[in-house]
Structure 1
Amino acid sequence: MGFLDFLFGGGNKKKRSKETVQTRGEHMPDLKIPVDEKFTIQFKKNGGKFIYCDSLDEVHEAFGNILKENQWESLDFYCLNDALRERFSSFGTRFTEMLSKANILLTTCEHLVAQNGSILVTSNQIREIKLTELPDNIIVMATTSQLIESIGEGLKLIKKKYKGQIPTNITTLKHFQPTQENAKDFLTYGSSSKHLYLLLLEDL
């Protein structure tokens, strides 16, 4: 099943086993499903909000809708990426250089990890900032080519990409809004939970 078919349905669907990622025990071997589908399932299970876009125009539209939906138009954004600042400047977005004053983090990422639905970031995106110090609200801009199977694969790709200058503070954003399924996780990790939107641009 393709990525768009999984999100929106349609087409002739083959009969599938009733066993899914959600119903399978956590210690059982992974089901052989596409990496994009697995990421979507795990990301939503973690409580993340996900918007698929097939063009930059759709990215802009989605960003504007997020601002309106949450009434974020007049709030301060923290962003370390100059390209993102420029891309969304047409919305009159206010950026602050002071993390303590920011209401929302706008960032890219290194990879999207299908294994656990997390977002792999490094000091390239958040410097040496601890997850608990980041704003509670986060918007991540990523592309479908950044989807990977596991954290181990992501670390290998980071090592290969940056060679002798491997970034520090390599970590994952995983715990988003609490859901019925991840409630137990939030008892432990609530201090670093985030209200997160993922703008996923098709680039393959």
Structure 2
Amino acid sequence: MTSKPIRILVADDHVLLRQGIAGIVAPEPDLEIVGEAANGAEAVAAFERMRPDITLMDLQMPVLPGIEAISRIRDLAPNARIIVLTTYPGDVQAVKALKAGAYGYLLKSSLIDELLTAIRTVHGGRRFIPADVAQEIALHSAEEPLSDREVEILTLVSAGKANKLVAHELRVSEQTVKAHLRTIFQKLGVSDRTQAVTTALRRGIINL
């Protein structure tokens, strides 16, 4: 008796990526794409309607962010198997996704090489995390994370705004901004604004 194929929902706001995934999956007799979603809200609705075996979820989506969509799907089905699709190799986004309930974390740059393995691994009840992402998570696991206010300040700094303008937007003193930046530098192990922004982008702490 032939076993039923693994039913897959693809949630990503880029139609070309959804088509690319369909092209990778189509030749595989044990896999079947049963639905697509172009934003986080559509993903939650499609999951509730279709109850797929595997959901491939982009993190950066309109209407409802991927992290929130993962949480809502897990509320609907605590055993849902979700694999994150992302361009961000950083540890912070990976940890957020895993805490929200994702079982796998897959970089879009690795789709051709790792997508099929990730789907079958997660469907079998095991986690799938690329070695380089797992290494980043382990490397920074003992570090104190940035506070919400520190992330807010660093996001404004990444937009090229000077301390005085950051202070004006947040309605705090310039000295307060400088104090926050000193703490940010210490937590990230850097010595200036440029290094802080570069490190935060690489680790997925902020997004441009």
Q: State whether TM-score is above 0.5.
A: no
TM-score, normalised to structure 1's length? 0.29
TM-score, normalised to structure 2's length? 0.28
* Larger proportion of helix: 2
* Larger proportion of strand: 1
